[in-house]
């Protein structure tokens, strides 16, 4: 799913084709699709046409707001323009939900109109859209995080909240399903962060918590220079443990949720857990070769997730 949209300020234009954007950690769904495209496509195999359309629109929304930040011109003027564009998308979310304070009720974009139409059917949680916008806005001012609690807020916004929108489409928005979506989103994003240490460092970004680095005698320069040594291994092991805890919490919640409805999410989650295991097997060397699964391994993971759900091929 490579459809892209562009947003030009000050007016809101219809989605249009854009050039390939720069990477952005905040683009959670972009990471999931660009880097594991075959995994994401499994979701569509278990969705009807309306739900698949909704998933496409959710992806488009995440893509649009993320690109506003990732593709901005460097400097204060670019930051200010990005903030105005994000504010306009906040108003577009208001139009999707028919906020009374807005003088114009109808969304201005094709994407907004599509989300409004599918929201009438699937009832997306409103706060998830608002939190995603707040999350991508954090990349305008933050490229370091003090501790895991600090990082958790960012990951909750750009990953767990995407999951909440997907839960609506998958058909289970119960309290256990929301706990599952929250913890799985955190687990996936922590896995992404560990896997992408080198790529983020090349962009001057460090998402690993500062207190975790200090605890193992590492500095920002060690990460930016991609130094792989015993200190890094120990630090990465601790961070992988944090991701593992979130996977376990997600799976505990899944036992109380609708496992069949959440199968698309579970295929993605089990695939990323296997990537985390591969990182461990490589002794956390994420610098020389980016961890990834072969197609046959992805299919095996998917088959096991399907078996756990009680479905058949």
Q: Is the pLDDT of residue 34 over 60?
A: no
pLDDT value of residue 130: 97
Q: How many angstroms separate the CA atoms of 77 and 185, rounded?
A: 33
Split at pLDDT 50, 70, 90, the class of 21 is very low
The two structure tokens encoding residue 292? 């990834």
* Band of pLDDT at residue 42, cut at 50, 70 and 90: low
Model pTM?
0.84
Q: What is the mean pLDDT of residues 30-54?
A: 63
User: Stretch 66-85: mean pLDDT, rounded?
Assistant: 93
Q: Measure the CA–CA gap between 280 and 282, rounded to whole angstroms.
A: 5
**Could you tell me where the DSSP H helices lie in the chain?**
28-35, 37-45, 49-70, 76-96, 110-122, 126-138, 148-155, 161-170, 175-195, 197-202, 210-215, 220-224, 230-254, 263-281, 295-309
Cα 100 to Cα 95, 96, 116, 209, 262, distances in angstroms: 9, 11, 15, 41, 34
Place of tokens 């995994």: 39
Q: Does residue 276 register a pLDDT over 80? A: yes
Is the predicted pLDDT of residue 4 greater than 50, yes or no? no
């Amino acid at each position: 799913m490579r459809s892209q949209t562009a947003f030009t300020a000050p007016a809101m234009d219809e989605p249009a084709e854009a050039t390939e954007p720069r990477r952005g950690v905040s683009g959670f769904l972009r990471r999931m699709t660009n880097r594991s495209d075959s995994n994401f496509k499994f979701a569509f195999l278990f969705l009807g046409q309306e739900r698949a359309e909704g998933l496409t629109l959710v992806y488009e929304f995440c893509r649009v707001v993320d690109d506003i930040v990732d593709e901005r011109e460097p400097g204060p003027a670019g930051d200010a323009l990005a903030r105005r564009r994000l504010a306009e998308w906040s108003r577009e979310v208001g139009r999707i939900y028919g906020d009374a304070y807005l003088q114009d009720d109808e969304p201005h974009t094709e994407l907004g109109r599509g989300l409004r139409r599918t929201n009438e059917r699937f009832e997306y949680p409103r706060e998830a859209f608002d939190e995603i916008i707040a999350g991508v806005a954090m990349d305008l001012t933050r490229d370091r995080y003090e501790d895991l609690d600090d990082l958790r807020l960012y990951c909750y916004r750009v990953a767990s909240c995407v999951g909440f929108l997907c839960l609506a489409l998958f058909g289970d928005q119960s309290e256990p399903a929301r706990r599952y979506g929250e913890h799985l989103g955190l687990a996936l994003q922590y896995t992404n962060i560990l896997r992408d240490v080198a790529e983020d460092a090349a962009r001057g970004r460090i998402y690993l918590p500062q207190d975790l680095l200090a605890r193992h005698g590492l500095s920002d320069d060690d990460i930016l220079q991609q130094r792989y040594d015993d200190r890094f291994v120990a630090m990465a092991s601790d961070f992988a443990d944090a991701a593992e805890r979130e996977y376990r919490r997600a799976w505990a919640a899944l036992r109380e949720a609708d496992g069949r409805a959440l199968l698309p999410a579970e295929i993605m989650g089990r695939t990323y857990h296997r990537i985390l295991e591969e990182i461990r097997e490589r002794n956390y060397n994420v610098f020389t070769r980016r961890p990834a699964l072969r197609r046959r391994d992805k299919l095996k993971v998917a088959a096991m997730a399907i078996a756990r759900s009680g479905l058949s091929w």
